[in-house]
Structure 1
């Protein structure tokens, strides 16, 4: 279906793009040189949001151009995903280590070894991150997006217009509906505690719905914020569950690798239990947190973000914009 463009649509598209460009411009350099742990995370989030905005408003910029930008943003994300996962895991292990008391000191060697291996892996990953960012910068994507945004805004910036219009509402309805339906279809996957793959798929569907709502929120002057907060909390719970699934699998591989290293170095596995105690503590902590997060997500889905919530999540986009101030 071909969607109409009007000033309200163009302004909302440009405002959203400008906001994410500001974050990327601020954080890219830091991510390239690993200055702050949050830089990589902020770049990834801004890139994802830009891709979501371009899916929603790509025709405002020209679909071919928007598709090309999305492609480059996807490459940037791919080059940074593993680094961010390691950053999060390192912070988790550091947190566990900081909580160890004197009576549990026998666990320290294994936890420190796990931390060392993750830090080594993260250090090894940084050149890949820097390379992905450098390639992205060489394409001048941010400059092109900024110039194109200013070109679109120039003739309409001072034009008095309603923030919400029928063409904009129609666009928002069409874009959010498949995401909403996808969440409704996948909610039942949460009933099975063992279905980690299903939980991950549900998280992705929830995330796409959230990004669509966030892109619309400025036009609604923040009235969607309560809904967005609920969706964000649900997504966070599901995301934290997925992190634990990934960490558990990685830790099991690490235990096997460290046992093999011990045998190779000492000619026997006898020294390995010294490391195993701490690594088992990490595994137990991961499993415990995963269970707690699952229980929280299930309860939240039943009470706050149930089927009724998702069925009505697009209600603000169904209201008539007839009373809005017409374009002049």
Structure 2
């Protein structure tokens, strides 16, 4: 995965609006620079790197949404969603194909044949999604998005609520620093994750766990975004959150597999004998069902492992007061006047 570049020209003590413009311009450029890598289908990591860059960009837009006008936010989101969706569509199939190929290599021969046919289905889907990606990140389309963004960034303005707070303190728009914004955003992201943590006590409810995974991802990206403002002190927090995100992400992947395989088995069984007759052969049908059942058992077992990992780490966070430690670190380098404005 491509590491996010340090943001050149970012001043954590400057006003938040200036920082927002610098960050978004940098993140957009990072994403667009990875286009050639993403179109090199011989190396699937190229799509992954550009997808991660698009996620960082969209996460930053979401983080800054509390500070800028809604109409500015809508303009900034324009075009990026389709790019991220096309990248995600291809990446999902890349990961699925790699997982199936690995499992086929470990499975008995009869089951491996069925897994290979399932893999072929995913390859056909990937080819279709690559066609969508080619259009989504066409050179002229990305150029238009960049042009639209540069215009939008020139015109972006603080939301009324922050202008009012600045006016109340008499300090002007630059009263709220970029570091202050980071403190506010990271705190909100942690509170969101903390409130969703009860999902760990309902292990069979997939949607709450999925929402917790997304919250962990947003918190990690927020910490990485503002890491320059606190230096190396934030690295351990980012690593811990990355570990939690990984466990929840692997758990979610298992849920997706389980749903797909379950629907496949149910569909192929729903037609009874007619379904078997319409298939290429009874033997192929039987092997496909054996492969799907084999995979379903595998991912059900893996899901339990990843759930336990996430639950154990959350327990460790409770014991070590992760939230308190994070809040204490965020208090470093606090700007007293900005704090007063944020709390009004």
TM-score w.r.t. the length of structure 2 is: 0.75
**Partner SS for 1:237:** helix
The structural deviation recorded for 1:87 is 1.5
Partner of 2:294: 281
The structural deviation recorded for 1:119 is 1.0
Partner of 1:26: 33
Alpha carbons of 1:65 and 1:270: their partners in 2 closer, same or farther (altered >3 Å)? same
Residue by residue, what CA displacement relative to the aligned partner does 1:200-233 show, whole Å, maximum 9, x if unpaired? 0111111111111111101222220100000111
Residue by residue, what CA displacement relative to the aligned partner does 1:36-81 show, whole Å, maximum 9, x if unpaired? 2122222221112112223445699987555412232122222333
Residue by residue, what CA displacement relative to the aligned partner does 1:108-148 show, whole Å, maximum 9, x if unpaired? 11111111111111112211122222388255233565799
Structure 2: give runs of 5+ residues left out of the alignment: 1-11, 157-174, 337-344
Alpha carbons of 1:297 and 1:277: their partners in 2 closer, same or farther (altered >3 Å)? same
Alpha carbons of 1:265 and 1:317: their partners in 2 closer, same or farther (altered >3 Å)? closer
Given that 1:180 and 1:209 are in contact with CA atoms closer than 8 Å, whether structure 2 keeps it comes out as yes
Q: Distance in 2 between matches of 1:322 and 1:126?
A: 48
Alpha carbons of 1:147 and 1:319: their partners in 2 closer, same or farther (altered >3 Å)? same
The structural deviation recorded for 1:277 is 2.1
Partner of 1:132: 136
- Structure scoring higher RCO (CA < 8 A, sep ≥ 6) equals 1
| Residue range with higher mean Cα deviation, 269-278 or 221-230 | 269-278
Given that 2:247 and 2:306 are in contact with CA atoms closer than 8 Å, whether structure 1 keeps it comes out as yes
Q: Distance in 2 between matches of 1:240 and 1:146?
A: 37
Verify: 1:99 aligned to 2:112, yes or no: no
Partner of 2:4: none
| Superposition pairs of residues 184-223 of structure 1, within 5 angstroms | 184-223=194-233
Alpha carbons of 1:256 and 1:195: their partners in 2 closer, same or farther (altered >3 Å)? closer
Alpha carbons of 1:283 and 1:179: their partners in 2 closer, same or farther (altered >3 Å)? same
| Superposition pairs of residues 239-250 of structure 1, within 5 angstroms | 239-250=249-260
Verify: 1:48 aligned to 2:55, yes or no: yes
**Partner SS for 1:110:** helix
Give the total of aligned pairs.
Answer: 303
Partner of 1:73: 80
Q: Distance in 2 between matches of 1:44 and 1:305?
A: 32
Partner of 1:160: none
Structure 1: give runs of 5+ residues left out of the alignment: 153-164, 324-328
